[in-house]
Chains A and B, each alone.
Chain A
Amino acid sequence: MKKLLILFLVMQSSLAKDQSKVLDKVMYVNKIFAQVHKNPSKHSIYLTTTECGHPVKVYKLESKNKSRVLFNRTWKIVKVGSYDGYMNEEYLSDTKVKCFQDKYPKFFDSLGLEINEMFYWGKLYDQYVTGKSRAN
């Protein structure tokens, strides 16, 4: 059992070595605030909070032979400022959306949101359980 586990870990690390991060595109934050996580999980450590409209560099994983490696359907590998982390793809758009703070800048500024409120606002989106009823 132990040998199998070691073998699995060795294989994982060798696979990781064969992969490299390549800049894919620039996307934009589409929620009022959104969090950048250290790992691809909503329970992972928060690195920083981004504001709606903020451009985010999105990376893809490529293997040695340049073929794309499917990483995750929900999480994007991102770089925001000096932070390398992960963001939920639901919070990102290919084009810049009309954010609430852009539509009503003076109203939004007048709220005088504190840093911890911005942080919690970003966290809020991670806490939602979402769904949609569809017409089949």
Chain B
Amino acid sequence: MKITLVLSLLMLCLSGLSAEKSKEEKENELIDFSKIKDVIKSDGLEEAARKKSLIALDKKKKRLEKDRSRYNFPTEEDFWPFISEYWLVKNASILKWNVKKPDYGLDESLEQLLQSVGVFEVKFRILLVDSPNVFHFALPYKKNEVLFLLSIPFIRTMDLTKLEISILLFEDYIRIKQGFFEEMAMTKDIKSVLSSNFQGKKFDKTSLKGILERYDQIILTEGFNFKQQFTVTKEMEKILKNNLKFWNSYFSLLKKIDNLVKGNSLYEQYIKIFPSPELQLNWLSPN
């Protein structure tokens, strides 16, 4: 008796787990309209039955579409914030962002700078890291929102002012707006699957590994090229030259970085990532 009860309960649970069909679909399965065709035709019920089956068909279509959408690959807009944060989570131990940090008041200082240079309604997030391996970066993120990565040892060693730090971040903002990071990080595999659907296929995780490796390369070893740096520096010149205070701070910042990379072996790697502060100073100096 008990076994029968347990079995019937198990059967009920299993039937509950299977994909739910709509009421109309179930009715269509139970009634074979072809056998009573003549009767329902005379009663004018054929039209009603046809409408009902159309509704059932529509519901089935929607159910299948919903089921298929579960296998969607993110759109490019949704993908960048996700993958940038995923990279930060995966590299938490290398980056050392999980530490208690003092309040440097960077939010207010960057807000003021952005507003002063006419960049409005832009949200930002700054993640301070306690590692000298990463210097400063803007990672691909949401539209009208920027995610900055900033090394505490890097800004402390140079004893930067709040304005200089903000200008450093603003340079990263210009770099990300130029789309250099996305361009370099995007792989063929990922590009081909964005906004696609993988129902019936096995999702290949190696494509994600590929893009995470590109993040590693850009941030930790390869960085940007001369052409990209030139574009960014010239864009900075165009924007900051109107304000003498900002312009002088940008110069002083580049000089400080130049001295640091020449005098401190811990930061030699910097010129590989951002080539190079010395060249940037030359590009900006009037001949």
Contacts and interface: CB of A to CB of B under 8 A. Distances in A.
Interface of A: 32, 43, 100, 103-107, 110-111, 117, 120-121, 123-124, 127-136
Given A103-B78, A124-B97, A130 B124 contact: yes
Contact of B111 (A104, A120, A134): A134
Contact of B89 (A104, A105, A124, A128): A124
B74 A132 contact: no
B116 to A, nearest CB: 9
A136 B120 CA distance: 9
Given A107-B203, A133-B121, 19 more contacts: A105-B70, A106-B70, A110-B203, A111-B205, A121-B89, A127-B128, A129-B125, A131-B126, A132-B111, A132-B121, A132-B122, A133-B111, A133-B114, A133-B115, A133-B122, A133-B124, A134-B115, A135-B115, A135-B120
Chain B at the A interface: SS class: mixed
Interface of B: 70-74, 78, 82, 85-86, 88-90, 92, 97-98, 100-101, 103-104, 106-108, 110-111, 114-115, 119-128, 198, 203, 205, 208
A110 B205 contact: yes
Contacts of A103: 72, 74, 78
Contacts, number: 95
A133 B128 CA distance: 19
A121 B85 contact: yes
B107 A129 contact: yes
Contacts of A111: 86, 205, 208
B124 A134 contact: no
Contacts of A132: 111, 121-124
A128 B115 contact: no
Contacts of A105: 70
7 contacts: A32-B82, A43-B100, A100-B82, A124-B89, A124-B127, A127-B97, A129-B107
Contact of B106 (A129, A133, A135, A136): A129
Contacts of A133: 110-111, 114-115, 119-122, 124
Contacts of A124: 85, 88-89, 92, 97, 127
B125 A130 contact: yes
A121 B91 CA distance: 11
Most chain-B CB neighbours within 10 Å: which of A100, A104, A129?
Answer: A129
A97 to B, nearest CB: 13
Given A107-B74, A129-B106, A120 B92 contact: yes
Given A121-B85, A128-B125, A133-B114, A107 B72 contact: yes
A110 B127 CA distance: 27
Contacts of B107: 129-131
Contacts of A120: 89, 92, 98
A123 B98 contact: yes
A106 B86 CA distance: 17
A103 B81 CA distance: 14
Given A117-B89, A121-B85, A127-B127, A104 B72 contact: yes
Contacts of B74: 100, 103-104, 107
A128 B147 CA distance: 9
A129 B120 contact: no
Most buried by B among A32, A106, A135: A106
B51 to A, nearest CB: 33
Nearest to B123: A132
A45 to B, nearest CB: 13
